[in-house]
Structure 1
Amino acid sequence: MSTERTARPFGRALCAMVTPFDAAGGLDLDAARKLAAHLVAEGCDGLVLNGTTGESPTTTDAEKAALIRAVREAVGPGPKVLAGVGTPDTLHSVELARQAEEAGADGLLLVAPYYSRPPQAAVEAHFLRVADATGLPVMLYDIPGRTGTRIEPETLIRLAAHPRIVAVKDCAYDMLGSTKVMARTSLAYYSGCEELNLPLYAVGGSGYVSTVANVAPRAMRAILDGFDAGDTAEAARLNALTAPLVELAMASGLPGTVTMKALLGLPVREPLQPADRDAVDGLRAAYEELVQAYR
């Protein structure tokens, strides 16, 4: 049984980076390089590309590889670059994993197969097949609200025996289940839900993969810094400062991709649609309030 805080194989503060597109809808690699370099300069230990926030369902395999190469070039060898490779198709996920490794990724983000809702034995076999395909460490992504399939705690406990399955991005909203897995394995747990970043960290989590970090990387990291400094009251205060923006960005009925790109002034790809004026105004007001709090 593990009784200490788990390792941080990908650092603490990771951003689920948006994928910039130009006005014509094409991949904007120059904008991606600039955003990636900015996020690292502002305190991100790593970047997660081609995930939900990165609009992976609407980018091609070639675009995914090009984005990894561009970001790797922009940030250098220090920060961790993870690539989302999860699809409903095991063989396609294997291909994407190998492509990501060749493109320079440091790790893989692997979501449960979605839509077909396979049973746990099939989910486990899918993960093992992809983990065996490369030499890269794997962060499993448990987000049943999107996939329709939970990665059950007992499944995670079994998968932890694989030498390259090292972490979980946790969006299951099951603190008891997460605590159970952390207690029985060495898996590094990263919150994928902004409102649980601090609570999960407090019970032994390793950090977060944050969507809101696209626009507020220092504010999100400061919460963990306060906790690590032993000042839990300050960590709670800083967490409260981010709450209005987090609520509008992640719980307003709009996808986080849409809200982040509204603040960054970037277009989305269909079927996503840009935020309307009222939503943009509310987001900007909450963002400016957070910025002022840090001045």
Structure 2
Amino acid sequence: MDVREDDWRAASTAGDARRLRELAALDGHDDLGIPLVLAAKAGHVDAVRVILGTNMPDADMRRTALRLATRSGHAGVVELLLDSGAELSDDALIEAAACGSEDLLQLLIARGAERGRDEALVVAAERGATAAVRTLLAAGAGSLNPALKGAIDARHAPTVVALVDAGASAAEGLCHAALVGAPALVDLLIDRGASNLDQAFFIGAKAGQTAAVTRIVLCRAAEAEGTQPASACKPRPAPSGASSAIAAHLAMGPAMLGARRPVGLAVADARAVSKPAFFSTVRAPQAK
């Protein structure tokens, strides 16, 4: 009795292991590569096991199935395919990081995956997959500062903390948080030891990031007045839409920054808080 290819494909896509066993009993089938790929992509562990045990597809189809299962985060299917001899692709860790699966990353690392660890760390950080980030850090992934910037861009505070605690530069992170306008992360990075407030102030001001700059000014004021170090400062956010309040805080900038501000940093009139006007409030001195 001939068994139609459509029957295998339908059962594989649905993950119907019982139907696959029935089909295998009727006809072992010459080529089960496509059914394997369909079952692997959908994460059907039992279906994959039946197909592999019926008629082992060739190496290319197993490699394709492994890649699709990795991209989808199906650790159980990946383990079966690795046990069958399927070869990992060079970017397996990156693909696993993209789906944020800690279990899958641990499996791949245990099976010898090493290439692309640094790139995988950046990808996991950009997605806020903190557990995956910690797994990659434990495996020796580098590129901490690029990963930190990715986490800041995505506003993933727990991932930012994990990376700074692992050795990423809080100072570099503070500058980036000021640049992209992430005031909550400005607070967090100052709390984690970033002390380059003047540098971050200039970067945030040039980018027109009023809320982030306001946080920095308040912390810098507390440090300059000796009430608390910058790392202990917990600045309060400016009231939403309160332009006068923001302007009042920023207008205090010149006195707060004082002589300790870097050469070339000058705060002019901070009463205007729109981005175009605020951009002009921080500028280098004119050459004499």
Q: Compute the TM-score of the two structures, normalised by the length of structure 1.
A: 0.29
| Higher RCO (Cα < 8 Å, 6 or more apart) | 1
Structure 1 or 2: more strand by fraction: 1
Question: Which protein is richer in helix relative to its size?
Answer: 2
